[in-house]
Every structure is written in structure tokens, then in C-alpha cells.
Amino acid sequence: MANARPFSAAIFDMDGLLVDSEPLWHEAEVEVLGALGVPIASGDPRRTKGIFVREVTRFWFERFPWDGPTTDEVAVRIVDRVIDLVAEVGRLQPGVDRAISLCEDHGLALAVASSSEHRLISFVLERFGLASRFAFAHSAEDEEYGKPHPAVFLTTAQRLGAAPDRCIVWEDAPAGVLAAKAARMTCVAVPAADERDAPALAIADAVLTSLEEADESLWRRLVAAHASLEASGGREPVGSG
């Protein structure tokens, strides 16, 4: 018999999922890394989306080494700039309250698991009044490896007291989807328009165009897919829509 309560926790990514900060990350990286001679431009796709910032600076330093500050020092500059930009122009993504409320209504424990540093996570959650909606926020800075490694999600599930296969992860980035599925969690992907053809999305359990699509119909599909998975041992995505 399928478990009557298939999910016990929901884990939310932050950048790009709760807050429209991915363009701000790109702007900060172009500004800070560009000043060090890294040839990235505002019109370029962000090749390091969803990756921990210190891994981002190491990624670029290996390809275009610069003189002067260390990669960790450059990471601090980038995060400082992102915080400034969020304060100036940051906004929540449409449907955030809807998605959080859906999980709350079904009695799930909620947490944030992000590739951002704690100081940025705390700033965003406080600024937009979301801190009280989550039990805690966990950062990849506390893990040896960031996404697409599953560590940040596995640690979050452990802290919530939830088995990985009873967790729903809400993600926007392909790296996050890979991390969630590597952790054996159900994953709802909400990709940016220019990433909807990313191969990693094929393994998500549902793909939405907006968190505004988070409703009881989605919940029923996730529950049905979870029950089917338990019964068959297979891994069939719920599908998009």
C-alpha cells in the first residue's frame, strides 16, 4: 500500500526561484569579474547558474587567471554587490506565496537550501518577509561540494527529520534539479524561459512556467507519481504544465 502521507517536507531553492536574483548575480559577476579581465558580458548566458559563488570564482580564475585578489576575496565582492542590487531592485517571483502556502496547507516542514552564502540568504528572507515561513535556511557554503552535488539537500532533509524520498524540492536551475534527483527527492522545476530546453529538466517530476501554477492539481499529480514510484520502483516524471 502506498504511504498515506507521501511527503513530509518541502525544500525551496532561493535565487531565481523565490527571488528574481539571477539577473542580479549576472550583473554583479560581469561588473566584478569584468574589472579583473574576465571576458564575460551582460548579454552572455550565465554559465555558472546555481553553483556556489566560491566555485564560480574558481571556475573563472582557472580559465582567465587575474593578478591581485584571491578567488575568495572576489567572491566576497560579488556577494556584496548582489546584496546591494537586491536592496535596490530585487523582487519576489510571481506565485511565491502560493507555492509556500500549498506546502503549508499539506502540513509539510519547510526549509530553504541555497547555493548562496548565509548572509545573502538571511538578507533576502528578511527583506521580503519570508524568514518566518521556513524552519531554517541551509547554505552550500557549509558543504564540501555545492550543487549539482546533492549534499545541500540531504543535509537539509536530515535537519528537518525527513527521509529524502519524502521531500519535495522546488528549483529553477538545472544544477539544482540534478542535485535534487541525485538526493532521491521529488523535484518541481520552475526554469527561466531561456532554460526550458535544458536536458536536466527531463528528470524533474514536474516542470512549471511559474510558481503561480502551484495548486491542488499539481499536488495530486505529485502524490500519484510518488505512489506509482513506490509501487513499481520506476522513475517516471509527472510532466510539464
Catalytic residues: 13, 15
**Quick one: cell of 182?**
541525485
State the Cα–Cα distance between residues 221 and 184, nearest whole angstrom.
18
- Beginning with the edge strand found earlier in the chain, give each strand of the sheet holding 9-12 in spatial order: 137-139, 109-114, 9-12, 167-171, 186-189, 206-207
**Quick one: cell of 18?**
523565490
Write phi, then psi, for 163 (nearest 5 degrees).
Answer: -65, 145
Q: Please name the helix (run of DSSP H) or strand (run of DSSP E) that holds residue 137, with its range, or none.
A: strand 137-139
State the Cα–Cα distance between residues 188 and 197, nearest whole angstrom.
15
Q: Please name the helix (run of DSSP H) or strand (run of DSSP E) that holds residue 186, with its range, or none.
A: strand 186-189
